[in-house]
Structure 1
């Protein structure tokens, strides 16, 4: 039986995983905030949320999330730079490739307790 903290962390994990996957699902077109492209300020908020997600993953003992977290972090760090200097770049995919970033961010493995799709 899951403890109250573990139950809370699982709920946070599901919620945060959903918005993180959504934020990067249109790559390499850009990072999303809702239905619109993210602003630099929103990217900073997403970095904070990503740190919280990483902590939840650690508390839950989830392996295999590092690539997803690192990929999200790369885009949340770099997308504001791209936005501020967009006129200097052909498009975001070129920006990503020039900086050897991940063009796509694959979702992390699903925990057993989350069930299968």
Structure 2
């Protein structure tokens, strides 16, 4: 697989993990766990490296992904206080879409 194909595949997957917002972060077809959010965060660094190699500017997308991958586990640990991820996003000012 070429670097460009790898970049596109990883970008599309990370985009997919956030397409259900404000419901939550996905991992495959299910909601992500804390450890899966760690894996997703690591994937953002892989994507960033590929983007740099290819000259792609995806800073806004990476910021968007990292915000959710960092905070979704916090929401999960305190879910009874927030009820829904949407309420969590309202309280902490989370974005629902990234700027392209």
Q: Larger radius of gyration, structure 1 or 2?
A: 1
Farther-moved stretch of structure 1 (33-42 vs 9-18): 9-18
Task: Note the C-alpha offset of 1:8.
Answer: 2.7
Distance 1:88 1:105 in 2: 26
Distance 2:90 2:81 in 1: 15
Task: Note the C-alpha offset of 1:102.
Answer: 0.7
What SS class does the counterpart of residue 104 from structure 1 fall into? coil
Residues 42-81 of structure 1: matches in 2 within 5 Å? 42-63=36-57, 65-81=58-74
Q: CA RMSD in A?
A: 1.4
TM-score, with structure 2 as normaliser: 0.92
Task: Note the C-alpha offset of 1:103.
Answer: 2.1
**Contact 1:43–1:79 (CA<8 Å) still a contact in 2?**
yes
TM-score, with structure 1 as normaliser: 0.80
The total of aligned residue pairs comes to 100
Q: Deviations over 1:22-69 (max 9, x none)?
A: 100000100001110000000000000111001111111012x11111
Structure 2 gap ranges (5+): none
